[in-house]
Amino acid sequence: MSALEDTFATFIARQTGASDATVVSFDKLSGGAIQDNFGLTLDLEGGNRPGRHEFVVRQDAPSGVAESLTRPQEFRVLQAAFGAGVTAPEPLWLCEDPVVTGQVFYVMARAAGSASPRMLVKSEFTDEQRRALVRTFGAELARLHSVRPPDDSLDFLSMPNPDNPALSRVALYRRYLEEIGEPHPVLEWALNWLEDNAPELGPTVLCHCDFRTGNYMISGDRLTAILDWEFAAWSDPCEDLGWLCSRSWRFGADEREVGGIGDKQDLLDGYREVTGASISPARVNYWEVMALVRWAAIALQQARRHMSGEQRSLELALTGRMVAQMEYDLLNQIQELEDGNDQST
């Protein structure tokens, strides 16, 4: 038994009051440059959770540079989402004492299934299964968006521009571009468009901000968990809907607007069934454009990490070369919206 799995097992035994915790399996899970995720299956004896349990332990990687939420903040967001009825991994215990492993970590329940985008997009779902899945996505986001400020447990999340969260994002991405220090005329042009076409102020809600194909688990045709909550923020509900529908996250299945899985109208219908309120497709279109700019800015930051020598990586280098795709999509999508020919509305 490695020291780390022993430490986690002992921590969980203490939390549950178990007299003994036997490690059945322990493995490092893929994904996450800032966090390490470990799968841990334990047989617990006694206490308030006797029997076999599958957990995920999430902690900062030793070299982690956190521009996103800290692990304790992420844990609190997960608690808020889970409490609102969102299909998220159940957050169990947070350990903020660095003496235990040297890093802050938390434990959550492990969800079944796969998050692999390529596998999911190639799945031979029936039309009915696709509709049901995409409606579920809408309903999940609607439940998440029922969490609204002020919320004392989420007081670390900053409030966006009170006049318009979209303009807060435009200012943020302009700052990112300045920091990157390379000229990107298409992104500057798109940011101007986003500033000029900002929708009227909507509600400010808790947004996941990275809910896309690849960041949720599917088992069979069922959603089992929405993952990766480190970018959660107060924002416009359509930020989440637009991100999920962005052309960047369809993984080759471009005709299926919602993450390469299904149709936007089903997503919006699923959302409406929970909230009772209709979302304007035009607002989602706007936030899809925002999503392309955001992903381009993030890709440029990732390439910068490679080029600066901070983290030499072929994957990061190639991500930088993907920016032309986002720029191409921006040129096409803005043109389509202006022409009123957008097929997705």
Binding site for other proteins (CB under 8 A): 174, 183-186, 188-189, 192-193, 196, 314-315, 317-318, 321-322, 324-325, 327-328, 331-332, 335
Residue 23 CB, shortest distance to other proteins, in Å, is: 24
How far apart are the C-alpha atoms of 47 and 34, rounded to whole Å? 33
Residue 187 CB, shortest distance to other proteins, in Å, is: 8
Q: Are 286 and 238 in contact (CB under 8 A)?
A: yes
Residue 180 CB, shortest distance to other proteins, in Å, is: 11
Nearer to other proteins, 143 or 184 (CB): 184
Nearer to other proteins, 155 or 315 (CB): 315
Structure tokens at 306: 């490679």
Residue 28 CB, shortest distance to other proteins, in Å, is: 12
Residue 170 CB, shortest distance to other proteins, in Å, is: 12
How far apart are the C-alpha atoms of 117 and 43, rounded to whole Å? 32
Nearer to other proteins, 129 or 311 (CB): 311
Least Cα distance to 252 among 301, 214, 209 occurs for: 214
Residue 55 CB, shortest distance to other proteins, in Å, is: 24
Least Cα distance to 243 among 286, 212, 202 occurs for: 212
Torsion angle of the four alpha carbons 202, 179, 212, 333, in this order, in degrees rounded to the nearest 10: 70
Question: How many CB atoms lie under 10 A from the CB of residue 222?
Answer: 14
Nearer to other proteins, 12 or 186 (CB): 186
How far apart are the C-alpha atoms of 147 and 81, rounded to whole Å? 8
What Rg do the C-alpha atoms of the chain give, in angstroms?
A: 21
How far apart are the C-alpha atoms of 64 and 41, rounded to whole Å? 25
**How many helices, marked H, and strands, marked E, lie in the chain?**
11, 9
Q: At 235, is the secondary structure helix, strand, or coil?
A: strand
Nearer to other proteins, 75 or 193 (CB): 193
Nearer to other proteins, 277 or 324 (CB): 324
Nearer to other proteins, 132 or 180 (CB): 180
Q: Are 134 and 125 in contact (CB under 8 A)?
A: no
Kind and range of the H or E run holding 333: helix 323-339
Kind and range of the H or E run holding 225: strand 222-226
Residue 225 CB, shortest distance to other proteins, in Å, is: 23
Residue 314 CB, shortest distance to other proteins, in Å, is: 5
How far apart are the C-alpha atoms of 260 and 257, rounded to whole Å? 6
How far apart are the C-alpha atoms of 82 and 41, rounded to whole Å? 22
Kind and range of the H or E run holding 282: helix 281-307
Residue 191 CB, shortest distance to other proteins, in Å, is: 8
How far apart are the C-alpha atoms of 174 and 192, rounded to whole Å? 10
